[in-house]
Chain A
Amino acid sequence: MKSDSHQIITRVYQAKTDSRAADALIASYMPFIKSETAKFLKRPPDPSDDELSIAMFAFYEAIRSYVKSRGAFLNYAALQIRSRLIDNYRREARNKGQISLDSSDEEQADLLETIPDGHDEYEAHEMREATRQEIEELSAQMTEFGVSMTDVADNSPRQGRTVESCRRAIAYARSHPDLLEEFLRTKRVPIARLAEGAAVDRKSLERHRRYLVAVLLICTNGYEILRGHIMQVLKGGC
């Protein structure tokens, strides 16, 4: 029993930094996640239920935030899953008075079908496919820099002052194409030149180096859809 708890703690600590290990741990403890969801739903969860996805996400959050002093991991994870499901239930309850487009009226016809559709499903699919290709290409290029999307998400700036520093650095890099060329050629972020040119703290940029890699790659040629998504930032300086 003690060795089992020691083993799971080891895996949890490994999954904190490794997304694949986290996926493996989640897959291993899927029955546990389902049981906790079932306790909340008072029924076996369906794979298409959002509650099950939210429970899996809560399990991942438990992995990220667990420390040994908080006791047994499974108890902690169960508490996290329950809390998340309750939060989701309350959020859904706030939208309870609204009518869903998927709901049917008395004549057994979906409301969605009654609304004139100006949305081209084919075009949307094409757009999504193009975006997916760009993202896959970006992920592949980021791999050359030793950075994954999860790393970028972990390394993304949160505080406004840091976000502003990174934006100024990105704007300076966009205004100096030679910097981007050097970045692509050397596969190293020119932190010193960015800090000096943008007049920002060098340490702030160093702490968010992986985030800068992703955004600088997006700023280079070939990622028009992604650049269009973050156009606000690009307009603001990037």
Chain B
Amino acid sequence: MKYLVTECHEGFAVLMDEQAGFVHAANLHYQVGQTVTNPILMQEAEPEQKHITVKKLMPFMAAAACIAVVSAAGFRYYTRNVKTYSVVLMSSDANIKMYLNQQGEVVSLKSDDDYGAALIKHYSAKHKSKTDVANDLLQKQIDEGHLTSSDTVDIYISAFNDAEFDTYKTEFETEIQQVRVSVQEMAAAPEPPKPVKPDPKAEAKKDPRAEAKKDPKEEPKAGPKADLNAEQALPDPPDPANAQAAQPAAPKADPPAAVKPGAQPKNDVKPIGPMMPPTPPAAEVKPAEEGKTPVAPEPAAPEEKPDPEKDPGKKPDEIEKPDPEAKPDDDIPAPDNKPEKTETPEEQDRGNPVLPAPESGQPGAEIGPEEQEPEEIQPLPMKPEPASGLLPKADPLVKPAPLEAFA
């Protein structure tokens, strides 16, 4: 590369290379304007390295040492004088807790009750001996008449170790002369009464439902009626667990027709055809035939259900359970559970009018009294349903099951 000498000095020259770079070089008798090759160029000065010497570090080391010493001294002071090592509870009319440091001096006082708080309110116990503080506070109570010299003050100590406990115990027993003291460990101290929160479980135990559930033998046939009464008394929905526990007992005691609206059919009862309306009781149909205004059947049939307890000779299973051997395809109708009355197929047709299907999803879609008016009953030329023989015939005490129960 060619260099053009642009400036000459005593000890160096400034050259310009062909890349338009200006460099320092040794002035080997150059003249300005001369073109030279292979000059002795100045070496790039190395950047000054910052040597970290001990001398430079000394101030920082000294500062760090000072901080360490101050920190250690502060920590030692804190642990010996400020940090709580043991607690002494002085229990008399006032429960006063003394928090002691490692040297046995009182760091702070605390009281949970009003009288104790009033006692220590204007009393400075900081860095006083525990026995002095105890004597002062006891003297105050004696002066105020809350204590006499014959009284016994319980002192509970929570010490760091057993030796410290023994020391404190000895000190308290020897240095407190005004009253008698009984020194014990803090673990023996009675806990202050805490406000009792109302326990929902305890209330639930008082619940009659829970009582009925708790002792099923006393009321073995507590069925839906009992549950209904309980629900009327307690509108709150029962716990799912309680409901599950209470449900199994109910179906056994009650006839299937008395199942509450919306209740699930039992597994042991064969479902009747889905579109088959229940047979209305014959007693209700008869007035319609006579042209009288029909009396609407009471929808609250479960309340009129026969009480199994009142009629113990009649088992509900005999009433409600259809014959398990009866098949729907049988032409011969199954014998009724109640043999008081036998109906012909025509009578059965009259008794089983075709009712308009209730609107689905409406609770009021159950068979109502208006739907059972005699004018609307038009017997259709239908063959007798074989399944009708499965149903119990015209039992006025049995409430017709709603359609939703068979849906």
A residues lining the B interface (CB < 8 Å): 19, 22-23, 26-27, 48, 50, 53-54, 56-57, 59-61, 64-65, 67, 69, 84, 88, 128-136, 138-139, 148-150, 152-153, 156-158, 163, 167, 170, 211, 214-215, 218, 226, 229-233, 238
Contacts and interface: CB of A to CB of B under 8 A. Distances in A.
Contacts, number: 120
B46 interface: yes
B204 interface: no
Contacts of A226: 4, 16
A23 B25 CA distance: 14
27 contacts: A53-B29, A54-B28, A56-B10, A56-B27, A60-B9, A60-B11, A65-B45, A65-B46, A128-B35, A130-B33, A131-B33, A131-B35, A134-B33, A136-B32, A149-B22, A150-B7, A153-B14, A153-B22, A153-B24, A156-B21, A211-B22, A229-B2, A229-B4, A229-B35, A230-B19, A231-B18, A238-B20
Given A60-B9, A67-B48, A69-B51, 13 more contacts: A19-B9, A22-B10, A48-B29, A53-B26, A53-B28, A61-B43, A131-B34, A149-B14, A150-B14, A152-B14, A158-B44, A211-B22, A230-B19
A135 B28 contact: no
B355 interface: no
Contact of B18 (A65, A84, A153, A229): A229
Contacts of A148: 7
A40 B17 CA distance: 31
B66 interface: no
Interface in B83-125: none
B141 interface: no
Interface residues of B, number: 35
Residue of A23, A53, A232 with most partner-chain B CB within 10 A: A53
B16 A64 contact: no
Given A56-B11, A57-B27, A88-B40, A163 B33 contact: no
Contacts of A139: 6-7
A171 to B, nearest CB: 11
A156 B11 contact: no
A47 B89 CA distance: 103
B42 interface: yes
B26 A132 contact: no
A130 B24 CA distance: 22
A66 B46 CA distance: 10
Contact of A149 (B2, B6, B45): B6
B27 A131 contact: no
Interface string B29-69: 10111110000101111101001000000000000000000
B165 interface: no
B31 A132 contact: yes
A14 to B, nearest CB: 15
Contact of B20 (A22, A50, A153, A215): A215
| 10 A-B pairs with the lowest CB-CB distances in the bound complex, closest first | A132-B33, A57-B26, A131-B33, A149-B7, A56-B11, A60-B11, A153-B22, A230-B20, A23-B10, A26-B11
B33 A153 contact: no
A61 B45 CA distance: 8
A168 to B, nearest CB: 13
B199 to A, nearest CB: 76
